[in-house]
Structure 1
Amino acid sequence: MFKGLGGLGDMAGMMKKAQEMQAKMAELQENLETMTVVGESGAGLVKATATAKGVLTSLDIDPTIFNPDEKEVVEDLILAAIKDAQAKAAQRSESEMSRLTEELGLPKDMNLPF
């Protein structure tokens, strides 16, 4: 189709690929907001749920840990669960981005979005 136009045929193909990548990136960004991860601490006594974008959406605390004498322990467990959820969110987001770059035939270590 673009045979007589030299490198313009390649340019059209690159533009199409770029548009596909942009659409897939937008879809992935949207999906990251609905994917959830759960961070835990204290052998599951405290659970923090976050989106894959790292936004905390819920906190579940087993009532058996509410001992007034151990307030600092409870606070530490809550912080640990939140940090675990945030770390898992970052890992999930990175994994999804890596999967997308691989699908698009881009180098695995390429950082998206640009």
Structure 2
Amino acid sequence: MFGDIMGMMGKLKETQAKVEETKKQLDHVLIDEQSSDGLLKLTLTANRTIKTIEVDPELMQDKEQLEDYLILTLNRAIDRATAMQEAELAAVAKEGMPNIPGMDLFK
């Protein structure tokens, strides 16, 4: 019985290390997003760090429009990054979880 528990603990530690490594790798996965008309373009990592923002000069003439574009485009990009991050981390976690009867956490 203790062997099983020790084995599970080892597997959990290994999975935790894999999750941390995956988080580091997601810093290098870039997500590009742009407004529907292409006047605003941005890039962020799958860990939701903004890398670039390109604003067409036309948008610089209207502060409110620029703010609206930033909010909409950033929210779309963040949603995509979050979904990617969650999928990657869930895959790593599922792969590394010990088989505990009655505890299928990832159906």
TM-score, normalization: structure 1? Answer: 0.73
Number of residue pairs aligned between Structure 1 and Structure 2: 101
RMSD of aligned residue pairs (Cα, Å): 2.1
Q: Offset at 1:67?
A: 6.4
Name the residue aligned to 1:41.
35
1:18 to 12, 25, 30: 12
Tell me what 1:76 maps to: 68
- Among 50, 56, 72, which residue is 2:50 paired with? 56
Q: Equivalent residue for 1:108?
A: 106
Distance in 2 between the 1:107 and 1:27 partners? 22
List gaps (5 residues or longer) in structure 1: 1-6, 110-114
**Alignment check: 8 A CA contact 2:30 2:46 kept:** yes
Q: What percent identity do the matched residue pairs reach?
A: 30
Per the TM alignment, residue 102 of structure 1 is displaced from its structure 2 partner at its CA by 2.5
Separation of aligned partners in 2, 1:23 and 1:67: 45
SS at match of 1:54: coil
Partner of 1:3: none
Which TM-score applies when normalising by structure 2? 0.77
C-alpha deviation, 1:92, in angstroms: 1.2
Give the superposition deviation at 1:88: 1.3
Deviation string, structure 1 residues 54-111 (Cα, Å, up to 9, x no partner): 1111112234x3463x4422331122211211111111111111211222246227xx
- Tell me if the contact between 2:27 and 2:45 (Cα under 8 Å) persists in the aligned partners: yes
Cα 1:71–1:100 shift into 2, 3 Å:
same
- Where do 5+ consecutive residues of structure 2 fail to align? 98-103
Q: Max radius of gyration: which structure?
A: 1
Moved over 6 A (4+): none
